[in-house]
Amino acid sequence: MNYQPVDLTTDSEYSGRVQYSSKDKDCTLRISDLRERDSAVYKFRFTTNQEGGRYISSPGVTLSVTAALQVQVIRVTVQQSSTEAELKCHSSCSPAGGLSYVWFKNREHITSVETSTYTTWFNPTDVFSCGLKGHEKFPSPSVYAPKLTSVSVSPSAEIVEGSSVTLTCSSDANPAANYTWYKENGNPNLQRLSGEPQLVFSSIRSSDSGQYYCTAGNELGTKKSNNFSVIVKYGPKLPSVSVSPSAEIVEGSSVNLTCSSDANPAANYTWYKENQTLPHGQQAIYHFISIRSEDRGNYYCKSENQHGHINSTSQFIDVQYGPKLPSVSVSPSAEIVEGSSVNLTCSSDANPAAKYNWYKENEDSPKASGQIFTITDVRPEHSGNYYCEAQNRRGRQNSTLHLTVVAGSMKSVAAGSITAIFLAIIFLCAFLFIRRKRSSKRTPKPGWRPDNQAQDNMGSVYDSPSAPVQRTPAEPHEDLCYASVSFSKNQENALYSNIRLAQPHTHKEEEEDEDVEYTTVNFKSSSTSTESGNQEAVEDLSELYSTVSKHPRV
């Protein structure tokens, strides 16, 4: 180990007490106000004008200082703002015979006292010493209360959480001072941290940041140091997110999200919604001027500085709003046929969830409640406008749909078949009228009529005179055609139609026999099977019996 000696003129312990002198080859060191702690080994070093010409004497001179005189503090009494002390001058090498003492206060000779004890009032800044009369130039070391108490830190660089830090308290005092450490936290009952000159943090924490001070005390008094600020730098702690106002959030209101995190230096913040960075979200407070329903979701913030970063837990923002315009639909979406079942469905975005009521136009009472309105047996009177009303405590909205019911296929086929039958009857009457002129005379037995036995799926048409033909010479003769039409589906339904065909007669009044013609006409009708959905042709046999009364022209 290469030891480098210290020049005493630069050592603060010897400041103002050392003096160098040299003459020819002799060099002298003079130490004034010698103290016991000046005991040490002293060496002389001289330097020549040659390169590397430095030399140190060895083994050196050993100085051992023993206090011949020493001031002892016997008693200290504190009364209000003043302190009384009883001092005694003690000699370790007392010469034979009685001694006379001298006392010094603040280095001034107190002439009124020559005894070994001295009682006096003093201030914390006062300094006392004693000596032997006749040897006043060699007084005892001074005694005094602590002064110049200060705190230093090591290392002196920036203090980072987790590092090792030492605080040192120093003070000038005689007798030597005792030290006590405190942390100022506003608590009047301060807790004593340490009774040593050094306060050591082996792994300093962020909570150790604060104001520290020490006290140095001896029998003559106590001196407090100035506060020393310990600033520990650390990364952000777990951030918290708060919402203002804390009550229910309603669409259109103003809302603030606040991110808070303990960090040193202060943290920077970034806001996220569902893992997506929010624009203009680089502040501790994220402000919604007028919050919208689509702003509903999970939010969190990230806190970071040069010592680390951390994310907060998620905060769910529930925005309440009235129902949006409902969407209405019909199922099945195809043509609604009479007798079928239909579902009307209503849906709306709302928070809290909407309740639904169904109304028919021009009716005050609801037809149904709930999101789905089912009509199981649709009838023509169900046609019309329906509207759905969605409602929650934030508002209401409604939407309308039009329902059209189409007649069933069986009735359509029946209506078409009846129409065809009427056309066929008209055609038949016209056909018979033409054939009458060409037919031969036949005389049927009075009252004869074809069998009128009804059969399943069969219709009969009868055409015959209701009474014997009457002839009146003054009036033209009328030809009558009676038709009976029956169209049925598993039952007998008769349709009767009377058709008259007027025909001019000659002036001949002799009675002619009636010509009768029988004609059979078959009709086919189709029905729809509702079970299989396929159309099947069903042949219904219809018999048309016609009796035509014919008067030949003369």
Q: Answer whether residue 459 is part of any domain.
A: yes
Please state, in angstroms and as integers, the Cα–Cα distance from residue 333 to each residue in 171, 224, 294, 349, 392, following that order.
97, 92, 31, 23, 29
pLDDT of residue 526: 40
CA distance 269 to 309: 10
Q: Are residues 152 and 40 in the same domain?
A: no
Q: Are residues 305 and 342 in the same domain?
A: no
CATH of the domain at 97: 2.60.40
Q: Are residues 443 and 534 in the same domain?
A: yes
φ and ψ at 37, to 5 degrees? -75, -5
Q: Answer whether residue 14 is part of any domain.
A: yes
What residues make up the domain containing 397?
334-406
Last residue of a domain, one of 90, 117, 141: 141
Q: Are residues 469 and 430 in the same domain?
A: yes
Last residue of a domain, one of 218, 233, 248: 233
Q: Answer whether residue 467 is part of any domain.
A: yes
Q: Answer whether residue 329 is part of any domain.
A: no
φ and ψ at 398, to 5 degrees? -140, 155
Q: Are residues 290 and 367 in the same domain?
A: no
Amino acid symbol at 518: Y
Q: Are residues 482 and 532 in the same domain?
A: yes
Last residue of a domain, one of 287, 320, 353: 320
- Using DSSP, state whether 421 is helix, strand or coil: helix
Q: Answer whether residue 386 is part of any domain.
A: yes
pLDDT of residue 427: 84
CB atoms within 10 A of CB 309: 17
Q: Are residues 531 and 474 in the same domain?
A: yes
DSSP 548: -
Q: Is the distance from CB of 476 to CB of 509 less than 8 angstroms?
A: no
**Greatest CA span in the chain, whole angstroms?**
207
pLDDT of residue 97: 53
pLDDT of residue 318: 95
φ and ψ at 289, to 5 degrees? -65, -45
How is the chain split among helix, strand and coil, in percent rounded to 5?
10, 45, 45
Q: Are residues 225 and 197 in the same domain?
A: yes
pLDDT of residue 310: 97
DSSP letter string over 317-365?
Answer: E-EEBPPPPPEEEEES-S-EETT--EEEEEE---BSPPEEEEEETT--S
Q: Answer whether residue 328 is part of any domain.
A: no
Q: Are residues 537 and 414 in the same domain?
A: yes
CATH of the domain at 249: 2.60.40.10
Q: Answer whether residue 123 is part of any domain.
A: yes
Q: What is the mean pLDDT of each run of 10 residues along the chain (554 residues)?
A: 69 83 81 82 80 74 81 88 87 67 91 88 90 86 92 92 95 92 76 87 93 93 93 95 93 96 95 92 93 95 96 95 95 87 95 95 91 93 94 95 80 64 85 74 47 40 39 41 43 40 41 42 40 37 40 42
Query: Count of domains in the chain?
Result: 6
CA distance 488 to 414: 9
Task: Classify residue 144 as exposed, middle or buried by CB count within 10 Å of its CB (0-12, 13-18, 19+).
Answer: buried
pLDDT of residue 83: 85
Q: Are residues 21 and 49 in the same domain?
A: yes
pLDDT of residue 492: 39
CA distance 257 to 273: 12
Nearest to 255 by CA among 265, 270, 241: 241
Q: Answer whether residue 554 is part of any domain.
A: no
Q: Are residues 82 and 44 in the same domain?
A: no
Q: Are residues 226 and 252 in the same domain?
A: no
